Amino acid sequence: MSKKKPEKVKISQAVRNTSFILKIAFKASPGLCIMRLLMGIITGLNHGVNIYFISEILNAVDLRLPVGQIFAIIGAMAAYNLAYILFYNWHWKIYNPRYKLDFIRRLHKRFFVKAWEIDLACYDTPEFYNDFIYSMQNSDKSITGTLDHISDLLRCFVASISVLAIMLDVNYIIALAIFGFAILNMVIGIIENGIYYKYDIMLNKIYRKEWYIDRFFSLSDYAKEIRITDISNNMMDEYHKNKDEERKYHVKRNIRITMINILRTILQIAENVFIILFMAYHLMVTETILIGGFAIALMSANKLRGMIWEIQYRITQMSKNSLYADKVRRFLETKSEMISGDKTLDTFESLEFRNVCFAYKDKNVLENVSFKINKGERVAFVGYNGAGKTTTIKLIMRLYDVTSGEILINGINIKEYDLESLRSKMGAVFQDYKVFAATVAENVLADKYTPDREQTVLNALRDSTFGEKLDTLEKGINTELTREFYDDGTELSGGESQKIAIARVFAHNNELIIMDEPSSALDPIAEYNLNVGIDKNARDKTVVFITHRLSTTRHVDRIYMFEYGRITEQGSHDDLIIQNGNYAKMFNLQADKYKVKG
């Protein structure tokens, strides 16, 4: 199997990515960006200005100018440096920290909004999801890093030009020689950068496996399984294999980097020897350079060499950063394929599937599914895992769009409705429900809590059978859940968390309620009480159940049996029992739990 080649950066790609990142940065904080670039120019000029002052002082000494005039030059140099240091410290200690925090806040807000806007289908694509995670975790680093590199490039270019002007006045051959050596160093730097990036890509897969193993041994989610099974031995074996592979990559990379560093050292020695011999020859043999001129030449040469060296480093780093910035660009440029309509859904009357097909990565999940649900009805989707039940729910909420066929609400294609208007009529308890790092009230409302909504929260919690647990919480509905933000946060059991998710639906006036395994984590008594709560809250509403626990299905208006992406049976509980199909078999397997004992 061929391995995927690591990405290679092109000049056009680097320019495009850098331009894109600059636009984002300027939009987030134009003032900070302008100041950062201005700082690069001022800092760059500082190098040439100080060399100019030193050259003027040495020239004054060589020309035996009056002491007062020499001290005047020294005083001007001191005053300039004091002003520069004050400005430098004001920028980095006061201005930059303050505005950089606002800058990062605006950047993150843009990424949060984008994460909210993108289609759910994007999460199913590994390449996109990797870019998404990288962008969310490293956006500020990539963007501020690009801005820093551009500022530093400006500093180096301005410093190089100012120093070069002095250097050319001393000897143009030395200036050309330093440029020649710098070009060679730049080529070496690009090669070195390519080696690092190539192996970084290769090591990412290894690091992901290592992070998973770290989580496996450190998170409480796996603590019980580790102690009662032998899975930890398997994970330990994987860990050792992973480390062996990591060591192999490190050895290969370090050998190549060592050869590059040896070549770079040879070039540096050759450059230093050339400059010293050349300048010594003109000082002692041709006597065309004085001691003062010699000192200025060496100072300018070293400064120019350092600046050009840093220019090549910054350019190669920008090329590397561009590859990472490309992930940010791809994420932000992702367009939603799920286009919102313009119709407002005022009230829910009916839901209909007409020959709906849905495929995921060329794999058919639903095939020619048709059914109709009217307002006020209760229906249940049942079937084995992977039959297409949850996918059907996602299509109803338009988290995905159908591959073919159509979904109608009130006789109108679902795509014609405004997404926000459509989803505002729906409430769902997903099988993989989540409890947020927020208070009980905020979890129930999924919004900010205000005192006037207290009764709504309390009623929803009581009807979801969370009331008994609520009475034990000292802060009541203001109790902070999880320990993500709060050291004294309350951790709930699986059943308690599910009740919070159910209360979330009860707290809103949804016309279509979807319950995906709503009682999976509940005991039979809590399940019974939950059904009572559903009867109370959904008396005039439409309810769709997805369930494996068939006690719920006995009292619904209609049951749809899903198998291999198709509806194979439909009817009431009694109808399907008489048909004696797969639904009857499923029910009879659980019959002992549901039969009424005399």
- And the tokens for 376? 């006020």
pLDDT of res. 477? 92
pLDDT of res. 592? 59
Ranges 115-124, 278-287, 377-386, 463-472: which has the least confidence: 115-124
Cβ burial, residue 553 (10 Å; 0-12/13-18/19+): buried
- Distance CA(61)–CA(84), nearest Å, equals 26
pLDDT for residue 131 is more than 80: no
DSSP string, 217-275: HHSGGGHHHHHHSSHHHHHHHHHHHHHHHHHHHHHHHHHHHHHHHHHHHHHHHHHHHHH
pLDDT of res. 293? 63
Average pLDDT over residues 271-293: 76
Say what angle helices 291-332 and 172-218 make with each other, to 10 degrees: 40
% of residues, the chain, pLDDT over 70: 90
Cβ burial, residue 358 (10 Å; 0-12/13-18/19+): buried
Rg value, the chain, Cα:
35
pLDDT of res. 537? 75
Bridge-partner residues for 490, per DSSP?
A: 481
pLDDT for residue 124 is more than 70: no
pLDDT of res. 355? 95
Average pLDDT over residues 343-372: 91
DSSP string, 13-34: HHHHHHHHHHHHHHHH-HHHHH
pLDDT of res. 598? 43
CA atoms within 13 A on the CB side of 460: 26
pLDDT of res. 550? 77
- Distance CA(276)–CA(290), nearest Å, equals 15
- Distance CA(175)–CA(188), nearest Å, equals 20
pLDDT for residue 433 is more than 70: yes
**Residue 494 burial (CB count, 10 A):** 11
End-to-end Cα spacing for the chain: 65
pLDDT for residue 476 is more than 80: yes
Cβ burial, residue 434 (10 Å; 0-12/13-18/19+): exposed
Domains by residue range for the chain, with CATH = 11-332 (1.20.1560.10), 338-425+510-592 (3.40.50.300), 431-505 (no CATH)
pLDDT for residue 357 is more than 90: yes
pLDDT of res. 334? 76
Res. 75 pLDDT band, cuts 50 70 90 = very high
| Secondary structure (3-state) at 151 | helix
Q: What are 497-508's pLDDT values in tens digits?
A: 888 988 998 888
- And the tokens for 465? 């059978």
Phi-psi region of 517 (alpha: psi -120 to 50; beta: other; left: phi over 0): left
- Distance CA(332)–CA(42), nearest Å, equals 33
What is the chain's mean pLDDT, rounded?
83
Phi, psi of 565 (to 5 degrees): 80, 10
Q: What are 210-259's pLDDT values in tens digits?
A: 888 888 888 777 777 777 777 888 888 888 888 888 888 888 888 988 99
Bridge-partner residues for 566, per DSSP?
A: 563
Quickly list H helices, 29-66.
Answer: 30-62
| Secondary structure (3-state) at 382 | strand
Phi-psi region of 6 (alpha: psi -120 to 50; beta: other; left: phi over 0): beta
More confident residue, 262 or 527: 262
Phi, psi of 251 (to 5 degrees): -65, -45
pLDDT of res. 413? 95
- Distance CA(184)–CA(264), nearest Å, equals 9
Q: What are 295-312's pLDDT values in tens digits?
A: 776 777 677 777 777 887
Q: Catalogue the E-assigned strands of 388-449.
A: 404-409, 412-413, 426-429
The residue type found at 103 is F
- Distance CA(260)–CA(264), nearest Å, equals 6
Could you tell me which residues come within 8 angstroms of residue 590 by beta carbon, excluding any fewer than 6 positions away? 549, 550, 551
Contacts of 399-403 with C-beta under 8 Å, sequence gap 24+, read: 399/120, 400/119, 400/120, 400/121, 400/358, 401/337, 401/338, 402/356, 402/357, 402/358, 403/357, 403/358, 403/359
- Distance CA(459)–CA(467), nearest Å, equals 9
In which element (H, E) is residue 326 found? Answer: helix 291-332
Q: Which residue has the tokens 């979330």?
A: 504
Whole-structure pTM over 0.95, yes or no? no
